[in-house]
Amino acid sequence: MDELHHMSATDALRAFRARRLSPVELTEAVIARAERTEPVVNALCHRFFDEALRQAKLAERRYAGQGGPLWPLEGLPTVVKEDEPVEGQPWTQGSLQYRDAVAGHTSLFVRRLLDAGVIVHARSTASEFASAAFTHSALWGVTRNPWNPEFSPGGSSGGSGAALAAGSTVLATGSDTAGSIRVPASFSGVVGFKPPHGRVPVDPPYHLDTYVHSGVLARTVADVALTQNVVAGPHPGDVGSLRPRHVLPDPAELGRDLRGMRIALSEDLGDWAVDPAVRRNTREYGERLRAAGAHVEEVGLRVPRAQVMRAAAIHFHHGFGAAVAAEGREPGARLTPYAQAFARWAAEGAADAGVLDGLAIEADLYRPVGELFERFDALVCPTAATNGLVAGEDYVDHGPEVDGERLGHYLESLLALPFNIMNRCPVLAVPSGFAGNGVPTGVQIVGRPFDDTTPFRLGMAVEQRTHWPEVGA
């Protein structure tokens, strides 16, 4: 078994119930690991270690039959991304402008986790206002990838992905507006789920933004399924939340036989520059699905990159991008260069287009994918096209070089972005291998609209054990 700090949530709960492990022991192990790895990784911006140990002792009593009922996630150390409000805790949002802010309420999403018994021992770093696909800020500095600290763990939920890979948490939260759960999952070698829009309640006003999703990251598919079942379901505060509540089956009951499943495989969505290692690992993931009995077919699907960027720019300019721009106009504002560049890119990319123009492009983008789902149960493609984003790089006015092509914007390296546009599709991001620089690569398992179960069935069937990196030795 891996070291205690890398124990899965499902294994930990099983050990708690059998009285082979105490929540105190697990919390102590995670805290010790964080103290060892944080000087390198820098994934945790606020720490509540003493309070976490107090809560772990209460959980220990409940597992001993004292002090009340057990909750579904009782005693599991969890980091919450810093952009989520938790009443009484700092709500810094990665910004100097909010360095002293304290939340006066708890988000709908996090409340469900707290009510399920998690122990929030720390908050995880994010890019300023969650506006970038990498994680560093003027407030907290650079968050680094535990597998190779020269690279970013992705963003904007990069602290969550890095903490999971480093072993300084068991569960983590994220939010996903342009891939911000799935990209850190890919670069960190962990699992993340972007639920279909409305599956998990979101606080107003962003509950009405169809690109915005709250979700979870963990080290295994089963752990993500376990936690997703806690956070999913309708809420009176979110008019778009879906009824009835969707419950994922126990992954152990899904089996590993995929006979009868038809899977579409695309290495590049037909129009995206993709690193050769990412292509290779995507093909190898397809072979694993074939070995499990699925019919896997490489398809000629084309999701035009320029149209994706245009639709996203229009959407962000009329919503989130405008909000970031407004923050920059506040007296004394000192936004990071990448946050300013994000708002500027959205405004320039939208030009004179209105919301309806963007919706028309979005409809055109989904049509070939919708037709594909008439013949296939799921689509598998890379999560990110590049073998890594450099830690601390702002990527202002340029993107990374991918397979010999210098991209104009780093969002062009994220095949996650199209599925914020096609936001009713559930997407499970899982590891696919490693690039030559040691950075993990990942694939997305995209399900038909609102078919959450199929991505989990596929991901569980071919999941492989990970040997986690040593950090801070």
Catalytic residues, by residue number, are 81, 156, 180
What is the CB neighbour count within 10 angstroms for residue 352? 5
Cα–Cα dist 415/408, whole Å: 15
Beta carbons of 431 and 442 less than 8 angstroms apart: yes
Question: Residue holding tokens 């959205």?
Answer: 346
Cα separation, 258 vs 286, whole angstroms:
12
* Distance of alpha carbon 347 from the chain centroid: 26
Calpha distance 147→25 (Å, rounded): 26
DSSP state of 269: T
Beta bridge mates, 447 = 378
Q: What contacts 153, CB < 8 A, 6 or more positions away?
A: 43, 135, 143, 144, 145, 146, 159, 161, 162, 165, 184, 187, 188
CA 180 to chain centre: 5
The DSSP secondary-structure symbol of 465 reads -
Phi, psi of 226 (to 5 degrees): -55, -45
- Cite the beta strand spans of 18-167 per DSSP E: 44-47, 77-81, 119-124, 136-137, 141-142
* Residue 406 token pair: 């210098």
Give dist(CA 158, CA 263) in Å, integer.
29
Neighbours of 29 (CB within 10 A): 20
348 HSE (CA, 13 A, CB side): 8
Residue position matching structure tokens 């809420």: 235
Cα 466 to Cα 462: distance, rounded to the nearest angstrom: 13
**Nearest alpha carbon to residue 46 among 111, 132, 118, 126:** 126
Report the C-alpha dihedral over residues 287, 383, 280, 407, rounded to 10 degrees: 160
**Helices (H), ranges, 64-153:** 108-115
Contact in structure between 211 and 315 (CB atoms under 8 Å):
yes
Give the Cα separation of 178 and 308 in Å (integer). 11
